[in-house]
Structure 1
Amino acid sequence: MVATMPTHARARAEANLGVVTRQQLLDTGTTPSVIAALVRAGELRVLRRGAYCLGETWEAAEPYVERPRMLARAAVATMHRSWVLSHDSAAHELGLSILTPPEPVVHVTRPGYSSAWTRDGVARHYARFQPRQVAQVGGMRCLDVARTVADIGRLRGELHAMVAMDAALEMGVTRAAVEEAMAAMDFYPGIVAARLGVGRARLGAESVAETLARDLLQVLGFDDIDLQFPVRTRSGRIYWADLRVGNHLVEVHGVLKLRPVSDGGLADRPADDVAREMQERASLISARRLGISDLWWKDVRGPGRQLAGLRLLRDIATTCDRYGPTLHPELAEEAERIRAAHPRRRTPGTLGA
């Protein structure tokens, strides 16, 4: 006889991102032998001792945010003390974009003097925080956005702090709020790097890749970088470029732009059509006496970053030779008028009026 999960047990799991504990299954009348059979059949997946996830839910979940959220819920559900999610785990619950670390783990924090240890895929932190810094999101208690930015910056350094702070600004969290969260951390490890990264953050980066591209330009020696620069082409259509240096635009692309909506991407038409539109857009922008470079994730993170930097230097130098080192006054005035009429573009990659 094939074991099946009781409807009420499945409903309990589905209400918690597919995660359910052994005790919760027993409480719904699911016997130990049925639980074991469900694991063998793949209907349940063991996340850690005493915690499971619906098999199909785990398989359908993407690996960077959804699966870490499931692992965090499984960890908290099997802990006997009162912990709150923090660092990466809090960021995932809060919807804060971060730079994924090489070896992700679940992060939890409880009040105490600063110390931490990692065991069984869970990093346990003891640190002081105020009750007002605890947020309730999706049924989970986690440290708020400002504290999370500070913690990630201290743990992983300047670039991670910059990425998280960029994302926090997009969410409406102010730099002052993060600086307030860091005010009590003067002697905490990593605080100097965290403050440097928070100080470099800018409003206008709409993805982690855009932040990394801006960092690449800064490393190359470009400081006067404009974000979300609007260009009206001769057809009357407005395109928003991710970054601008002088008369040169930099567009940062992700795989989601080419992946169909049915597969979790943004493309509502074939990839060939998307690529063709990108080429047409580049031609229309170039006609306004602007240069343009395209960057992908492999160009801003990993071994391809150095080659991408050399390519950017060549492209920008060519544009400077053709059109000069500073933005043409006509384009500057036009961009100012467009921004006044359309303060921020509605969604990444879309075209304005």
Structure 2
Amino acid sequence: MELREKIDRAVAAVLSRGALMRSGLSWRGIADRVSSGELIRLRNGWYVRGETWEAERPDVRHLMVMHAARSDRHGNGVFSHRSAATLHGLPVWSDWMRGERDRAVRDCLTAHLLAPIAASGSGGARSKLYRRPDGSADTVRIAGFTCTSADRTLADLAASEPFAVALSCADRLLRDEVAVGRLIDPRGVEAWRARLLALARSRAGARGVRALRALAALADPRAESPLESVSRLRSWQIGLEPELQVPVRSERGGTLYLDFLFRSVGFFGECDGKGKYFDDELRGQRTPDEVFEHERRRHNWVSGVTRMNGVRWGVREVVTVERFATHLREFGVPFPGRAVECFGPEIARFLREAR
């Protein structure tokens, strides 16, 4: 679903107290429906029907909250952090990347906004305010919302989110900027890295600067999903240096691309997200069983052509570095068990601590 469609759905779902009262509800009637769950209160005076809320994904729910916040502030607000990331289309709503369960359901009710440094208060139960002296600077307009720029949003995420989330977002931003299909502009990659390092220097001493420098070094536009991004992080953390999107001759004469090749240990790796089997858009006309059979044949073909064993994993195996290490160990994949040094000692130290 495109961002514009998500925003349209979110805006259409939000109901003001005035609209509810014009439909015949009293103050008490609204309160009773909130208590029963028939209505969800997004913030004072703004609601959504419970069944609509339950049917939507966390990013669309959060857009509802942002629309209510924008309406409540008469459009005067700069969205930041996870709210800005939602507008930039970044993957910040996967609980598994934070090693948590069901937190997104709660977190999507909180709008993240910049506030002038002199502002008082926390923003209330449904808003989180970040006080910055430059709170009005480095902003963009997206579909009628004002939010922090992509670079600044990434810097804020580096300071506020687990590194797995920030790296997934960095990969997405870099891919959108420098890649067309499998074609990548290397000069664009270097310019992007230099820009992030300059931003890190400008924020010297601030929280998240080490993570921002690490993002400048580690982001890769070849990652095609958050699962690939986090899998790459876990690989580095246990001492493997994966090659990405490695071409292999296909059974029918075309080209297959391996998610990961661990050449030094003679294994290849493939990410196996649930969407491949259960997302209608990704699956097309095939049944889950047909997709599974296709993946099995592909795996066997690659093993035969490369003369290497392969290992597959999904979300559950990369939630922590310990789980990933255990999974590879069970398949006989050898690895050093300590963070790679190929990016230098500073990044190696960071990788040892990152989650």
Q: Does 1:256 align with 2:275?
A: yes
Which secondary structure does the structure 2 equivalent of 1:203 belong to? Answer: coil
Identify the residue that residue 343 of structure 2 maps to in structure 1. none
Q: Does 1:239 align with 2:256?
A: yes
1:256-275 equivalence runs, <5 A = 256-261=275-280, 266=283, 268-275=285-292
Identify the residue that residue 49 of structure 1 maps to in structure 2. 44
Shift in alpha-carbon separation, 1:24–1:133, aligned structure 2, 3 A: farther
Q: Which amino acid aligns with 2:164?
A: L
Q: Which amino acid aligns with 2:293?
A: R
Out of 109, 125, 128, the residue aligned to residue 123 of structure 1 is 128
Identify the residue that residue 188 of structure 1 maps to in structure 2. 206
- Whole-Å Cα distance in 2 between the matches of residues 203 and 158 of structure 1? 17
How big is the shift at 1:77? 2.5
Q: Which amino acid aligns with 2:130?
A: H
Identity %: 25
Out of 129, 149, 155, the residue aligned to residue 150 of structure 1 is 155
> 1:254-310: CA deviations, max 9, x gaps?
11111151xx764532111111111100111011113211110001115xx524323
How big is the shift at 1:139? 1.8
Q: Which runs of 5+ in 2 are unaligned?
A: 1-6, 179-191, 336-355
Shift in alpha-carbon separation, 1:94–1:25, aligned structure 2, 3 A: farther
Asked if 1 retains the 8 angstrom alpha-carbon contact of 2:114 and 2:130, the reply is: yes
- Whole-Å Cα distance in 2 between the matches of residues 44 and 157 of structure 1? 32
Q: Which runs of 5+ in 1 are unaligned?
A: 1-11, 320-353
Asked if 2 retains the 8 angstrom alpha-carbon contact of 1:248 and 1:316, the reply is: no
Identify the residue that residue 285 of structure 1 maps to in structure 2. 302
Shift in alpha-carbon separation, 1:128–1:171, aligned structure 2, 3 A: farther
Identify the residue that residue 310 of structure 1 maps to in structure 2. 326
> 1:213-265: CA deviations, max 9, x gaps?
11111111013x2111121134313222111110422111211111151xx76
Asked if 2 retains the 8 angstrom alpha-carbon contact of 1:96 and 1:145, the reply is: no
Identify the residue that residue 226 of structure 1 maps to in structure 2. 243
Identify the residue that residue 26 of structure 2 maps to in structure 1. 33
- Whole-Å Cα distance in 1 between the matches of residues 83 and 286 of structure 2? 34
1:204-215 equivalence runs, <5 A = 204-215=222-233
| Superposition TM-score, scaled by structure 2 size | 0.73
Identify the residue that residue 333 of structure 1 maps to in structure 2. none
1:133-144 equivalence runs, <5 A = 133-144=138-149
Asked if 1 retains the 8 angstrom alpha-carbon contact of 2:78 and 2:148, the reply is: yes
Identify the residue that residue 276 of structure 1 maps to in structure 2. 293
| Superposition TM-score, scaled by structure 1 size | 0.73
Asked if 2 retains the 8 angstrom alpha-carbon contact of 1:135 and 1:144, the reply is: yes
How big is the shift at 1:123? 1.4
Identify the residue that residue 107 of structure 1 maps to in structure 2. 112
Residues paired across the two proteins, number: 300
How big is the shift at 1:131? 5.6
Identify the residue that residue 87 of structure 1 maps to in structure 2. 81
Identify the residue that residue 175 of structure 1 maps to in structure 2. 193
Q: Which amino acid aligns with 2:268?
A: L
Shift in alpha-carbon separation, 1:21–1:211, aligned structure 2, 3 A: same
How big is the shift at 1:176? 3.3
Identify the residue that residue 72 of structure 1 maps to in structure 2. 66
- Whole-Å Cα distance in 2 between the matches of residues 136 and 39 of structure 1? 38
Asked if 2 retains the 8 angstrom alpha-carbon contact of 1:115 and 1:125, the reply is: no
How big is the shift at 1:61? 0.7
- Whole-Å Cα distance in 2 between the matches of residues 13 and 275 of structure 1? 35
- Whole-Å Cα distance in 1 between the matches of residues 15 and 131 of structure 2? 27
How big is the shift at 1:117? 4.2
Shift in alpha-carbon separation, 1:47–1:273, aligned structure 2, 3 A: same
Q: Which amino acid aligns with 1:248?
A: F
- Whole-Å Cα distance in 2 between the matches of residues 35 and 234 of structure 1? 67
How big is the shift at 1:25? 5.7
Which secondary structure does the structure 1 equivalent of 2:11 belong to? Answer: coil
Identify the residue that residue 327 of structure 1 maps to in structure 2. none
Q: Which amino acid aligns with 2:193?
A: R
| Larger-gyration structure (1/2) | 1
